[in-house]
Structure 1
């Protein structure tokens, strides 16, 4: 980034047009080379196909010369009760940073989503610089959680300083847009105050259930879990959607297949709208998972985030984060003594 006061550069921020693909790919390569984790961003045909289907929205910042200076995508998720967009893959070429291009891209994107009556928008910014975090915070997006140890930094290369961390962490920032309701939440007592503060900042409706309401009623026979394992980055991501009588068996099978040791790490998204969430939180804690925040309003469920670091050290103090994320990092450190 350039130092001093940012000066605006003459650019046109607009939606994708056919023919922009090479310029968009050049932006990704400028920062990540050929190591970016979402490989579809290197495929002109994949970008064209996604844009033609109308599911996702691509945005570019174009110079008068025709060069694409920066780009991002608004990736849509359709739930039963919500339409949510993720601000993904935001990159400005290094030589054009310091000219408010990223800010203009974000402002343009959020205005599009307001016009589309989106339920909410979220982003998962990198935590090795705070530029995106600060810009999104200024546009009303609230920090709610941290996702540690995702991308192996010997595999994914970028231009910023990692500090002592060997795997890239991401944050979560959310903005409620159209009357979002997080529903009934079943939360561990020790984290209720933290979660309540986040929901109040979001301005979303919610109801934190009393402990007596947990684990009552007949448990369904079958759990519903989804997962993704990235072999290249040795990273496991699990979504616990419905908790049933076979939960221990399903989780045990996953952790047997993908043991969390050495460089293998995992993040779990635990559906806190499920009345059995607290008992599963306790089971995960006994297996070495620890709480790192929440991910609400990003689909039909509000999730607790739990992380297992395997054998990887996570250096919170080496993150480059804004004030909101620093509060979350301090909470994680105090709760887990890391």
Structure 2
């Protein structure tokens, strides 16, 4: 929907009033002051491109500025009929202005419109979600006992309804941020990053949703999640039917090695589902996310995995104290295991390490794929960085295909990390999972587990050995 359109003469004096107008509109759509400032700067650069380079400097020319809102996309469209050229590809001002615009925008698109000239589209996603108002409780519905539901892949028009369902349950605390941007979420489905299924009632209403999300950090593994069923449809076994189809999809897709499920550690119903679908407990992640439906407490999750590669044979290198535990997990998953001989010293001078911070939940993530002679120094530097970033929880993943893993493990233990399981079957390697709680201890009052997960927790010996590292 186009909200406003302004025709401006190509003079720099026009820039300030246009920016003021856009700032006012952006504020009405709950954009933060920081976002508005960045958008205004990007608009200034885009208009400057038109004024400086879009026309010859003689005579008077005009360009148009419009504001459009569609779904959660707030778009400023700047159109001109000036000298042909691509402001991105032609690198005016050494590309500095374009770099600034890309930094503050979610999308920057420059289009050649032929006889209609040129168009710059500056897109910001509306994280304030003005369209997502908390809906009233659903009224009791007189639905038939036998309802003919259609199960099919997500369509673009379904994505907004899925986002609203997630918002009703979690507000803005759901761990996968993409789901709050309907167009972005659907585009991810189109690319194959997400396989999304909806259950649709005869009148076209979306009754339920479930997805398999490919994990960027662990290629070859997909996570099943984003499960929602509206209350009035909960007697129709929708979640079971969706789960059956997601599992069948994963099983039939050649490049999917395994399916991961992360049931919350306070909800045994989702944990019980794991046993039914042959998902094997393999670990935990404690206090990783705040949920509004748990009074914004940081919640813990269990990890369970199912292999779709029967007869897999893995040679891994294991820190000695963990050999018995890992043998048991691998055997239960169905992976034939050989234990390699740990290296006497690191094979390289430098460790191969990746450091990340999850902007949504503040988690720090550290991946060590190869242990070098510098491991002690590199690990301490990484921890200092993540603590400065105020990460309350740091997850550490050590590649079990690394012969020097026991050196990294020893240093991690000295830094206060404790083992929370393993995550095998990624195309990048099998990973030993460790965790460091920077700010708090595990709150066992919020944890309730089925016997299978409780047994694994006991075997990890967390109940007696957990310590908290002080700042």
Mark yes or no: TM-score above 0.5.
yes
Query: What SS does the corresponding residue of 2:207 show, helix, strand or coil?
Result: strand
> How big is the shift at 1:323?
2.1
Q: Is the 8 A contact 1:241 1:270 kept in 2?
A: yes
Number of the residue aligned with 1:15: 153
CA distance in 2, matches of 1:215, 1:223: 14
Q: 2:331 aligns to what?
A: 200
2:307 aligned to which of 171, 176, 194: 176
Which among 99, 104, 112 is matched to residue 249 of structure 2? 112
Question: Which residue matches 2:240?
Answer: 103
- 1:276 to 1:316, Cα distance in 2 relative to 1, 3 A: farther
Whether 2:164 is the aligned partner of 1:29: answer no
* Aligned-pair Cα RMSD in Å: 2.7
- Output aligned runs, 1:217-236, within 5 Å: 219-230=347-358, 233-236=361-364
- 1:264 offset after TM fit, Å? 1.6
Gaps of 5+ in 1: 1-6
- Residue 331 of structure 1: how far off its partner (Å): 2.3
Matches of 1:109 and 1:232, distance apart in 2: 26
Give the TM-score of the pair, scaled to structure 1.
0.85
Q: For residues 263 and 243 of structure 1, what CA distance do their matches in structure 2 show?
A: 24
- Deviates further, 301-310 or 32-41: 32-41
Please, which moves more after superposition, 67-76 or 286-295?
A: 67-76
Select which of 412, 421, 431 maps to 1:293. 421
CA contact (8 A) 1:10 1:64 kept: yes
Of 324, 330, 335, the residue aligned with 2:458 is 330
Higher alpha-carbon Rg: 2
Deviates more, 1:111-120 or 1:191-200: 111-120
Shift of 1:176: 0.8
Q: For residue 32 of structure 1, report the CA deviation from its aligned partner.
A: 0.5
Unpaired segments of 5 or more residues in structure 2? 1-144, 467-471
Contact 1:30/1:94 (CA < 8 Å) preserved in 2? no
* CA shift in 2, pair 1:8/1:268, >3 Å: farther
Q: What is the TM-score with the length of structure 2 in the denominator?
A: 0.62
Shift in Å, 1:218: 5.7
C-alpha separation in 2, matches of 1:127 and 1:9: 33
Paired residue for 1:248, among 376, 385, 403? 376
Give the corresponding residue for 1:3. none
Shift of the 182–96 alpha-carbon distance from structure 1 to 2, 3 Å rule, reads farther
Q: Is the 8 A contact 1:120 1:180 kept in 2?
A: no
Check the 8 A contact 2:314/2:335 in 1, yes or no.
Answer: no
For 1:157, the equivalent position in structure 2 comes to: 292
RCO higher in structure (CA 8 A, sep ≥6): 1
Deviates more, 1:316-325 or 1:103-112: 316-325
SS of the residue 1:258 aligns to: helix
After superposition, the Cα gap between the structure-2 partners of 1:255 and 1:142, relative to the gap in structure 1 and judged at 3 Å, is same
